[in-house]
Amino acid sequence: MPTLPRPWELTPVTPSTAAEIDQVVEWMARPHVQFAMHKDWDRDGWQTEIEFQFSDNKTRPFLVGQGGRHGGYVELYRVALDVVADYYDTPDRDMGMHGCIGEPDYFGYALPFWVALIAGVFETYPECTGVISDPSAANQLVRALDRSVCTVVDGHELGEIDLPHKQAALFRFERENFYAAMKRQGGVDVVLRELGGH
C-alpha cells in the first residue's frame, strides 16, 4: 500500500471492512460522484465489486483523507493487467488510478491529492516508471484536473482512446519528469503546501 506524503493517508477498503464499503456506497450515490464514476450500485453490488477486486492482484481500493477523516475514494491498478494496456506502449510496472472526492469539505483538494498519490506510488514502488489516469473523455472537469496535474509534474496528455466501456482521455505522469519537477519547485512537501494540500 502506498504511503502518501503527510498529512495525506490511505485506508484500505477490503471485503471485510464494512464501514469503509458503506462509505463508498454513500459517496457513489451522490450526484457529483455518480456523474464522474457511474458506479452508484447498492451495498450488495459494492460488496461483490470489492470481492472481485481482491480475486487477483490487479486493483486495490482505498479511502483517502487527512487526520483520520475520509474525503475521497481511489482505485490503484496495474495497467499491464488492464484493457488500457492494449492502447499504448505500456511499461510492465505502470500504475493507473481512478478516483473521486466524496465529501464537500475536500472540494478543492483534488489537485494536491492527485500529486500526493503519484508521489506515494513512486516512493512505494521503485520499479514503477509511470502513473496513468484515463477519465471519460466527456468529463471536462476531470480532464481539466489531469491537465493541471500535468502542469505541476510535467506529465503528458496522450490523447483519446476508445476503450470497450468508454471513450477515455489518457494522461501519463512519468517518474523521471515527476522528480525533476518536484526538485525544480523545492520538493514534494513544498509543492503540496503551495497547492493547499497541508
Domains of the chain: residue spans and CATH = 8-195 (3.40.630.30)
Do the Cβ atoms of 14 and 54 come closer than 8 Å?
Answer: yes
Please give the DSSP secondary-structure letter assigned to residue 17: -
Per DSSP bridges, beta strands 130-133 and 95-101 are: parallel
Q: Which three cell numbers stand for residue 83?
A: 484493457
pLDDT at 105 exceeding the cut of 90 = no
CB neighbours of 14 closer than 8 A, spacing ≥ 6? 20, 50, 54
As a whole-number percent, the residues of the chain with pLDDT over 70 amount to 99
Sorting pLDDT into bands at 50, 70 and 90, what band is 27? very high
To the nearest whole number, what is the mean pLDDT of the chain?
Answer: 94
**Quick one: pLDDT at residue 108?**
86
Alpha carbons within 13 angstroms on the beta-carbon side of residue 91 total: 14
DSSP states along 108-137: T-HHHHHHHHHHHHHHH-TT--EEEE--BT
Structure confidence by residue, pLDDT tens digits, 50-92: 999 999 999 999 999 999 899 999 999 999 999 999 988 888 8
Q: How far apart are CA 21 and CA 5, in angstroms?
A: 24
Structure confidence by residue, pLDDT tens digits, 113-129: 999 999 999 999 999 99
Do the Cβ atoms of 170 and 158 come closer than 8 Å?
Answer: yes
**Quick one: pLDDT at residue 197?**
59
A 10 A CB-CB count for 78 gives 19
Q: How far apart are CA 98 and CA 184, in angstroms?
A: 27
Q: Which three cell numbers stand for residue 93?
A: 510496472
Name the pTM for this structure: 0.93
**Quick one: pLDDT at residue 89?**
86
